[in-house]
């Protein structure tokens, strides 16, 4: 048996009120008021598709031993790097085995479903992970700005401890251009919605769905969870009716709570379906973009017992309201701000030095002394225990999964930060080890000495002169 073995999700905490977007732009387009209900997820300035992928994968691995992974695929249309394998950065942040197969898959809104089909059909790859992540930029005051969101989701496939059995898949490859983004463009160019619905969704998906259901001897009315990623609110119901799928089976695209998260939407909704599924439930997952994919799965008896730490439900519930549209614009580089002299310092990355310290910078590894058991970060040649001082005695000791507490903290408005004030201070980790760290996602008044923290992989700095971004681990307050 081949199928899904685990899943996880990540949605940024911040939720921007759509009313705030409409109020800022309705002077130009009053039609935005019709979309001004609810909220959408938005990345902090130090989040992108890579950092969200690490978060979703970490959530997924709470139910799985990461040493079993043989492959890591990353699907996105918003990779931070166009010529650097993004999935490798994710794998090193997760401290996975260096022998695993890694791959970036993009250039289509069905990148994730196509990748999932490949993993499910590649029986020889053992346990493999697919992580899909999107941080799409939109034009200010656009319909997309109101309907899209930022998020990531992860799925693992394998032949043991299956929570959803793979029953079959079908694909149609067709260059139907509903939107596109050229190499010199920052934003998508979209065509008319009704044409996309009538000529795209309604004509291509029924063929593919009919084939996958017929091959598996499954009736459309037996589908319990129907996933159709789209920001067109009425299209899933119209298509379900045409296919003969019950309306109750439609998985909500979460337009009013999260927004549609591009290529990651199908995997995010699949994670949502798995979190709520009962044994025996049939799940139909579709992807649309230059053709379409259809994947049929059936939940097993294990679906109720193998759960992530958060999943989609938990990620949605940890929301934090934001009504500052100007901040959202700044975080997404939609306005050119005067960042001041302190923000203009050259932030060149010396790649040779970076390579020497990847164990700390990316994997967040410290050391544990074999002689006395002292834990320290960063790792060094000598043990920091003054009663030991052993030379070359330290084994790798991961801190990325360690919790801790705030020993000291400062909120500094003189130090440059994209979201001032800059919070930083000393963190003491459970089990030993101290490190001066930046804090992220800090709500004013929520941090104090003794506050519990967890660490998260985030952007440290942007080197805008050379188009590079530096990642490191930051602490966040556990609310």
What is the SS3 assignment for 268?
helix
Residue 218 φ then ψ, to 5°: -120, 135
pLDDT over threshold 70, residue 144: yes
Per-residue tokens: 223: 């589908």
Cα separation, 138 vs 270, whole angstroms: 25
Per-residue tokens: 124: 């020889």
Q: For residue range 66-101, what is the model confidence (pLDDT) as tens digits?
A: 999 999 999 999 999 999 999 999 999 999 999 999
Per-residue tokens: 331: 């975080």
**For residue 354, what pLDDT band results from cuts at 50, 70 and 90?**
very high
pLDDT at position 315, please? 97
Per the CB < 8 A criterion, the answer to whether 144 and 255 are in contact is: no
Per-residue tokens: 146: 């109101």
Listing from the earlier edge strand, what are the strands of the sheet with 14-17?
39-41, 14-17, 320-322
What's 238-264 look like in SS3? Answer: HHHHHHCCCHHHECCCCCCCCCECHHH
DSSP secondary structure letter of residue 382: B
Q: For residue range 174-206, what is the model confidence (pLDDT) as tens digits?
A: 999 999 999 999 999 999 999 999 999 999 999
Helix (H) or strand (E) holding 156: strand 151-158
Distance of CA 460 to the CA centre of its chain: 18
Instruction: Return the CATH architecture of domain 341-364+399-477.
Output: Beta Barrel (2.40)
Residue whose tokens read 């732009």: 25
Per the CB < 8 A criterion, the answer to whether 25 and 141 are in contact is: yes
Cα radius of gyration (the chain): 23
Averaged pLDDT for residues 6-22:
97
**For residue 125, what pLDDT band results from cuts at 50, 70 and 90?**
low
CATH hierarchy code of domain 3-331:
3.40.47.10
24 Cβ contact list (under 8 Å, min separation 6): 141, 325
Residue ranges of the chain assigned to CATH 2.40.50.840? 341-364+399-477
pLDDT at position 247, please? 97
338 Cβ contact list (under 8 Å, min separation 6): none
Inter-CA distances, 454 with 66, 375, 451, 474, Å: 19, 18, 10, 8
Cα separation, 10 vs 425, whole angstroms: 26
Q: For residue range 410-445, what is the model confidence (pLDDT) as tens digits?
A: 999 999 999 999 999 999 999 999 999 999 999 989
Averaged pLDDT for residues 291-304:
98
Averaged pLDDT for residues 282-305:
98
Q: Which residues of 403-412 are buried (b: 16+ CB within 10 A; e: fewer)?
A: ebbbeebebe
Q: Show the DSSP H helices in 47-166 as ranges.
A: 49-60, 86-93, 111-121, 143-147
pLDDT at position 166, please? 98
Residue whose tokens read 């994968």: 57
Q: Which of 77, 74, 118, 139 is nearest to 290 (CA)?
A: 77
Q: Show the DSSP H helices in 216-364 as ranges.
A: 235-243, 265-276, 311-317, 325-331, 351-356, 358-361
pLDDT at position 130, please? 98
Give me the percent of the chain exceeding a pLDDT of 90.
Answer: 94
**For residue 346, what pLDDT band results from cuts at 50, 70 and 90?**
confident
Q: For residue range 57-74, what is the model confidence (pLDDT) as tens digits?
A: 999 999 899 999 999 999
Averaged pLDDT for residues 327-341:
91
Give me the percent of the chain exceeding a pLDDT of 70.
Answer: 99
309 Cβ contact list (under 8 Å, min separation 6): 8, 59, 62
Q: For residue range 309-323, what is the model confidence (pLDDT) as tens digits?
A: 999 999 999 999 999
pLDDT at position 338, please? 86
What is the SS3 assignment for 299?
strand
Listing from the earlier edge strand, what are the strands of the sheet with 394-398?
375-376, 365-369, 394-398
**For residue 345, what pLDDT band results from cuts at 50, 70 and 90?**
confident
Residue ranges of the chain assigned to CATH 3.40.47.10? 3-331
pLDDT over threshold 70, residue 124: no
Verdict on whether the full-model pTM lies above 0.85: yes
pLDDT over threshold 80, residue 123: no
What is the average pLDDT score of the chain?
96
**For residue 341, what pLDDT band results from cuts at 50, 70 and 90?**
confident
Averaged pLDDT for residues 450-461:
97
Residue 339 φ then ψ, to 5°: -90, 0
pLDDT over threshold 80, residue 351: yes
């Amino acid at each position: 048996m081949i199928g899904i073995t685990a899943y996880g999700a990540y949605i940024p905490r911040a939720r921007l009120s759509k009313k705030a977007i409409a109020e800022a732009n309705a002077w130009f387009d009053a039609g935005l008021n019709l979309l001004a209900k609810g909220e959408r997820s938005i990345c902090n300035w130090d989040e992108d598709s890579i950092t969200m992928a690490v978060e979703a994968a970490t959530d997924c691995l709470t139910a799985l031993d990461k040493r079993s992974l043989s492959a890591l695929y990353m699907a996105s249309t918003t990779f931070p790097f166009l010529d650097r394998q993004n999935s490798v950065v994710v794998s090193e942040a997760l401290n996975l085995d260096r022998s695993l197969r890694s791959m970036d898959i993009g250039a289509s809104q069905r990148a994730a479903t196509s990748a999932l089909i490949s993993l499910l059909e590649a029986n020889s790859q053992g346990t493999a992970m697919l992580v899909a992540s999107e941080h799409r930029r939109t034009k200010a005051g656009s319909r997309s700005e109101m309907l899209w969101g930022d998020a990531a989701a992860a799925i693992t496939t394998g032949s043991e401890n299956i929570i959803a059995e793979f029953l079959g898949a079908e694909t149609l490859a067709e260059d139907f251009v509903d939107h596109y983004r050229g190499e010199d463009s920052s934003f998508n160019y979209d065509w008319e919605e009704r044409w996309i619905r009538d000529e795209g969704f309604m004509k291509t998906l029924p063929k593919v769905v009919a084939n996958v259901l017929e091959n598996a001897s499954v009736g459309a009315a037996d589908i319990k969870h129907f996933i159709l990623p789209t920001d067109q609110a009425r299209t899933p119901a119209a298509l379900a009716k045409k296919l003969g799928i019950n309306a109750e089976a439609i998985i909500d695209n979460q337009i009013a709570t999260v927004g549609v998260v591009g290529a990651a939407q199908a995997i995010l909704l699949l994670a949502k379906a798995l979190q709520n599924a009962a044994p025996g439930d049939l799940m139909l997952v579709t992807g649309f973009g230059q053709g379409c994919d259809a994947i049929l799965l059936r939940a097993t008896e294990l679906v109720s017992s193998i759960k992530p730490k958060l999943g989609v439900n938990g990620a949605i519930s940890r929301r934090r309201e934001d009504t500052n549209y100007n901040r959202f614009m700044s975080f997404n580089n939609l306005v050119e701000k005067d960042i001041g002299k302190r923000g203009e310092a050259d932030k060149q990355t010396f790649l040779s030095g970076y390579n020497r310290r990847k164990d700390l910078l990316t994997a967040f590894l410290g050391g544990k002394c074999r002689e006395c058991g002292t834990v320290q970060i960063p790792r060094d040649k000598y043990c920091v225990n003054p009663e030991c001082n052993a030379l070359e005695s330290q084994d790798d000791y991961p801190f990325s999964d360690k919790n801790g507490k705030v020993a000291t903290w400062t909120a500094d408005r003189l130090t440059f930060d994209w979201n001032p004030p800059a919070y930083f201070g000393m963190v003491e980790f459970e089990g030993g080890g101290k490190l001066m760290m930046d804090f992220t996602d800090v709500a004013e008044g929520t941090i104090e000495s003794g506050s519990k923290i967890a660490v998260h992989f985030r952007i440290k700095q942007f080197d805008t002169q050379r188009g590079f971004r530096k990642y490191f681990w930051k602490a966040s307050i556990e609310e």
